[in-house]
């Protein structure tokens, strides 16, 4: 699933804790925990949260998102869009440089962006993100194998002009240009790494606010201010990122004043509240059950619909802890379309509890399968929170009562669960869905038939058509997304259960750290603290 659900791409709308002056500024070090060691700092491949956090701080693309969700130039100084909406021309900074702290800095040129996109579509790269950029001219043919990746519609007329030609309009194309998958790649440096690009500090080339000054395996990574960064002033002199896989350890370190900011579980918020610290919270992660469409039994759509129609969310909402809220929809409330909150405009989407209809669907499914009852099914469930298994257990009782479906629970670490889903070795699995950027399509696109992230095996031409046509007014686009979301829910291939709150706390006097509600992004460029 390529960490489908934690997938990666976090440079979208951020909420920032601004202000503050105070402190030394020029010589301040920041301290933060990330959830484990980065797996790969190749931006065209990185698929884990830790890698994404590091990449956001050591590299940048043509554009970035401001704290209020507006686009801002980064490696580009300006851009134009043709009248037909198919040609994007970006003018690059002439003072942008590549740097890794070793040897002379190298200019960032348009050829680096061309090569980055060509790598994205190179079949040997095997990037799971290329479908996101399928509107680019030639992309669909390259994906299908009828064109060479070097024929992609990206061009460098000169060193500081980068042009992208689209085959069809994409109203969210500029948002996509802020994501790590669209970051540049210096071909000479890439080839010099001998296949180890992104796997060690010596094999990373930086054009962002920081460079990697040290990378200690299984311990931490230290980012130092990039003295060649020309976009704006970088406040911290360094950022120390500690690899901590146990959330409880982060809570202890934060309580002991060993961190400047921390991601805290809702159960541990009392620590921040006792210290009188500011807490930023987002309802940004929907937990849902994948129903494997490659399974011989569950590929029957009537069986899936029966499971969906037997979810009585009102009944299990009472056993949920305060940080979990029963949810009948896939897209969380943090997501917007053209500046308008998507959930407010698509509030009616969802499938309610209909036990009589569920029983009818189950009967039809059993008849088609020529069996009297379903075999016993198993839901894979993360072992990180007892509340998850408790909810699944309650739902299993309702399924047994309403549709005679017997379901057990198998608890696994989240990494092992992801591995099982990647391999297709599951019947059902409870997984987290967090938007990778500020648009419903960042979740909905994962279920398009051709998507490499479609690990559930869903295939519906009508659904694909809705996601392929995103042209129109904001109202029209929202209507298409809502229709697609409803179709996915009615087909019963993914069953949303509840939404989880993500919490960040900052130590007293810390300002300027930007937190993203999308895939856990954290940005340190403007961070300061009063000492």
Are residue 449 and residue 479 in the same domain, yes or no?
yes
Are residue 95 and residue 120 in the same domain, yes or no?
yes
Quote the Cα angle for 309-310-316, to 5°.
Answer: 125
Are residue 348 and residue 446 in the same domain, yes or no?
yes
Does 7 fall in a domain?
Answer: no
Nearest-10 Cα torsion for 205, 209, 211, 215:
-120
Least confident of 11-25, 96-110, 216-230: 11-25
Which is it for the CA torsion 29, 30, 35, 38, positive or negative?
A: negative
**Total domains, the chain:** 2
User: Residue 437 is part of a domain; what is its CATH number?
Assistant: 3.10.105.10
| 456, pLDDT greater than 80 | yes
Burial class for 273, CB neighbours closer than 10 Å (0-12, 13-18, 19+) = exposed
Indicate the DSSP class of residue 140.
H
Are residue 294 and residue 216 in the same domain, yes or no?
no
Q: What are phi and psi of 431, to 5 degrees?
A: -135, 155
Instruction: Show the beta-strand stretches assigned E in 226-373.
Output: 238-243, 261-264, 279-291, 324-326, 336-337, 340-341
Are residue 271 and residue 291 in the same domain, yes or no?
no
Are residue 268 and residue 305 in the same domain, yes or no?
no
Does 226 fall in a domain?
Answer: yes
User: Residue 96 is part of a domain; what is its CATH number?
Assistant: 3.40.190.10
Are residue 268 and residue 369 in the same domain, yes or no?
no
Does 355 fall in a domain?
Answer: yes
Does 8 fall in a domain?
Answer: no
Q: What is the residue-wise DSSP string for 150-202?
A: GGSSEEEEETTEEEEEBSS--TTHHHHTTSGGG----HHHHHHTTT-TTSSGG
Does 76 fall in a domain?
Answer: yes
Are residue 261 and residue 223 in the same domain, yes or no?
yes
Does 363 fall in a domain?
Answer: yes
Residues forming a β-bridge with 416: none
User: Where does the pLDDT of residue 26 fall: very low under 50, low under 70, confident under 90, or very high at 90 and above?
Assistant: low
For 178-234, the pLDDT digits (tens) are 999 999 999 999 999 999 999 999 999 999 999 999 999 999 999 999 999 998 999
SS3 464: helix
| 489, pLDDT greater than 60 | yes
Are residue 351 and residue 432 in the same domain, yes or no?
yes
Are residue 232 and residue 359 in the same domain, yes or no?
no
Structural domain boundaries enclosing 221: 15-277+507-529
Does 331 fall in a domain?
Answer: yes
Residue 339: its pLDDT value, please?
76
| 247, pLDDT greater than 90 | no
**CA-wise closest residue to 498 among 310, 248, 322:** 322
Share of the chain above pLDDT 90, in %: 66
Q: What is the C-alpha separation between 180 and 43, in angstroms, rounded?
A: 5
Are residue 352 and residue 389 in the same domain, yes or no?
yes
| 2, pLDDT greater than 50 | no
Residue 519: its pLDDT value, please?
66
For 327-338, the pLDDT digits (tens) are 999 999 988 887
Does 10 fall in a domain?
Answer: no
Q: What is the C-alpha separation between 90 and 88, in angstroms, rounded?
A: 7
Indicate the DSSP class of residue 146.
S
Are residue 421 and residue 310 in the same domain, yes or no?
yes
């Amino acid at each position: 699933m390529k960490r489908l659900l934690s997938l990666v791409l976090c440079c979208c709308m951020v909420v920032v804790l601004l202000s503050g002056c105070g402190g030394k500024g020029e010589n301040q070090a920041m301290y933060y925990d990330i959830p484990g060691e980065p797996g790969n700092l190749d931006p065209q491949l990185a698929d884990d949260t830790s890698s994404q956090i590091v990449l956001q701080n050591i590299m940048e693309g043509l554009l970035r998102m401001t704290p209020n969700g507006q686009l801002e130039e980064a490696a580009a100084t300006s851009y134009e869009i043709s009248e037909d909406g198919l040609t994007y021309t970006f003018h690059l900074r002439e003072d942008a440089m590549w740097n890794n702290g070793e040897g002379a800095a190298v200019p960032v040129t348009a050829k680096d962006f061309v090569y980055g996109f060509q790598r994205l579509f190179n079949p040997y790269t095997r990037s799971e993100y290329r479908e996101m950029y399928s509107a680019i001219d030639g992309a669909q043919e390259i994906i299908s194998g009828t064109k060479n990746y070097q024929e992609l519609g990206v061009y460098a007329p000169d060193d500081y002009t980068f042009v992208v030609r689209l085959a069809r309009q994409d109203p969210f194309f500029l948002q996509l240009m802020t994501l790590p998958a669209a970051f540049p790649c210096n071909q000479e440096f890439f080839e010099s790494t001998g296949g180890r690009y992104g796997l060690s500090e010596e094999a990373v080339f930086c054009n962002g606010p920081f460079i990697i000054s040290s990378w200690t395996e299984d311990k931490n990574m230290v980012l130092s201010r990039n003295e060649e960064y020309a976009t704006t002033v970088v406040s911290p002199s360094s950022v120390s990122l500690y690899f901590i896989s146990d959330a409880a350890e982060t809570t202890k370190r934060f309580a002991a004043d060993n961190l400047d900011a921390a991601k805290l579980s809702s159960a541990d918020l009392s620590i921040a509240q006792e210290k009188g610290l500011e807490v930023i919270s987002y309802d940004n992660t929907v937990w849902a059950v994948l129903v494997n469409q490659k399974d011989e039994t569950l590929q029957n759509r009537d069986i899936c619909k029966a499971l969906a129609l037997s979810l009585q969310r009102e009944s299990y909402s009472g056993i949920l802890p305060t940080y979990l809220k029963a949810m009948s929809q896939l897209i969380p409330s943090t997501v917007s379309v053209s500046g308008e909150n998507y959930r407010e405009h698509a509030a009616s989407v969802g499938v309610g509890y209909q036990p009589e209809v569920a029983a009818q669907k189950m009967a039809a499914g059993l008849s088609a399968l020529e069996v009297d009852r379903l075999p016993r099914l198993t839901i894979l469930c993360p072992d990180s929170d007892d509340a998850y298994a408790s909810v699944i257990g309650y739902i299993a009782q309702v399924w047994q009562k309403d549709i005679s479906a017997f379901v057990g629970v198998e608890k696994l670490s989240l990494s092992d669960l992801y591995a099982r889903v990647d391999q297709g070795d599951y019947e059902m699995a409870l997984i987290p869905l967090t938007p990778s950027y500020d648009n419903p399509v960042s979740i909905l696109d994962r279920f398009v038939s051709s998507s490499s992230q479609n690990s559930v095996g869903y295939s519906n031409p009508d659904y694909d058509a809705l996601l392929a046509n995103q042209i129109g007014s904001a109202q029209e686009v929202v209507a298409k997304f809502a229709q697609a979301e409803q179709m996915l829910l009615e087909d019963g291939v993914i069953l949303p259960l509840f939404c989880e709150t993500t919490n960040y706390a900052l130590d007293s006097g810390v300002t300027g750290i930007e937190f993203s509600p999308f895939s856990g992004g954290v940005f340190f460029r403007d961070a300061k603290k009063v000492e």
